[in-house]
Structure 1
Amino acid sequence: MNKRIIFATSNEGKMKEIRLILKDLDYDIVSMKEAGIFVDIIEDGSTFEENAVIKAKTIMEMTGEMVLADDSGLEVDAMDKAPGIYSARFLGEDTSYDMKNNYILNKLKDLPEKNRSARFVCAIACVFPDGEVVTTRATIEGSISYEIAGNNGFGYDPIFWVPEYGCTSAQLSTDIKNQISHRGKALESMKDIIKNKLK
């Protein structure tokens, strides 16, 4: 049996990104679905880190295996850092990201560039079979664009403007995105921690 790490998500878009970034770890990275785990986890933490730890701990306790989890979201300064930790559940569990993105664009429609600052935040938690818990956090600063653009991404990517590239996150190439994204940077830091731990 190959060594594996379970990533506590069922989001296929996310799994694609994660596998690319962690491909040089000598482990199979499997989603909850691929590991045959179907469970609803109540994320009732008050920070990205707390929610990531809740997810990773729950699955580690069920499987006894190494588990990674992330909690990430969009903070829009003009909306008091909303949607924040509620990014996935913003405007209701089953609301499409098209609707969420249009809602945010509409809220900010009269604001000039300087008042549209926003960031993506990602916290990654790893719970090892011995119970040790480690977390990493990374952010990417940008702003909210004036329209939805790009289809190389998911979630809020099409409205997140990355100033140094002059386009939205959903218009970036996968390579560049994984290098600069909040999830990419948090996973890179976590990869170093895991490598050290497993030496």
Structure 2
Amino acid sequence: MANTVLVATRNAGKLAELRRMLAGGPVEIVGLADVPAFPDAPETGATFAENALAKARDAAAATGLPAVADDSGLTVEALNGMPGVLSARWSGRHGDDRANLELLLAQLADVPDERRGAAFVCAAALAVPGGLETVVHGVWPGRIVRAPRGSGGFGYDPIFVPDGDERTSAELSPEEKDAASHRGRAFRALLPHLRDLA
């Protein structure tokens, strides 16, 4: 599996995004379903970067492949940067997108439109067994709307409107989202490091 990089995520939406972004790149991308199973370490880091690097290190150590992992989430100004690293489990159940989104909207119900600023943040990490480790970041600023719109994307996409647009992230085409998103920005910053592996 020379020139193969493992993308360490079980989130099908995220894996599809990353495969689109890295298609035709210098390395072959495989997902966790393509390698023997190994136990997931809990996300205990206080920052996106700590969580991303821990996931990439674990995957590289378990498989012997260079591994890429990301940790990303939504930061909301009126909530002092939360849900942040807790984005996927904001409602108490990991990965329950609808419950997370509904709880966030309820928490912001009385917040006026001008104070609903937010940003999607992504830390992407690359860990090479016995070698290089690097972490890069991408930020996608915007605001939170009052009701979900759109059927694309996942997570908080239906309530996030990027700066300079009137559509939610869930109303953007996959190509538009990849070009602008926090994950797109982070993974484009990681591409030079992936090219060095080829």
Q: TM-score range by the shorter chain?
A: over 0.9
Q: Which amino acid aligns with 2:21?
A: I
Q: Offset at 1:162?
A: 1.7
Q: Which residue is equivalent to 2:41? A: 41
Match of 1:57 in 2: 57
1:156 aligns with 2:156: yes
CA separation in 2, counterparts of 1:96 and 1:175? 25
Q: Which residue of 2 aligns with 1:124?
A: 124
1:74-112: CA deviation from partner (whole Å, max 9, x where unpaired): 001111111100111212234621121111112112222
Q: TM-score, normalised by structure 1?
A: 0.94
What residue in structure 2 maps to residue 166 of structure 1? 166
Q: Secondary structure at the match of 1:36?
A: coil
- 1:6 matched to which residue of 2? 6
Give the aligned partner of residue 101 of structure 1. 101
Counterpart amino acid of residue 142 in structure 2: G
Ranges in structure 1 where 5+ consecutive residues have no aligned partner: none
Q: State whether residues 32 and 38 of structure 1, in contact with CA within 8 Å, keep that contact through their aligned partners in structure 2.
A: no
Change (3 A) 1:102 1:62: same
Equivalent residue pairs, number? 198
TM-score scaled to structure 2, two decimals?
Answer: 0.94
Within a 5 Å distance, the mapping from 1:61-140 to structure 2 comes to: 61-94=61-94, 96-140=96-140
Q: Call closer, same or farther: CA 1:65–1:100 in 2, change over 3 Å.
A: same
Residues 144 and 82 of structure 1: is their aligned pair in 2 closer, same or farther, counting only changes over 3 Å?
Answer: same
Q: Given that residues 8 and 31 in structure 1 are in contact (C-alpha distance below 8 angstroms), is that contact kept between their aligned partners in structure 2?
A: yes
Using the TM superposition, give the Cα deviation of residue 188 of structure 1 relative to its aligned residue in structure 2, in angstroms. 0.5
SS in 1 for 2:140: strand
Give the letter aligned to residue 198 of structure 1. L
C-alpha separation in 1, matches of 2:54 and 2:85: 13
The root-mean-square deviation of aligned C-alpha atoms, in Å, is 1.5
Contact 1:97 1:156 in 2 (8 A): yes
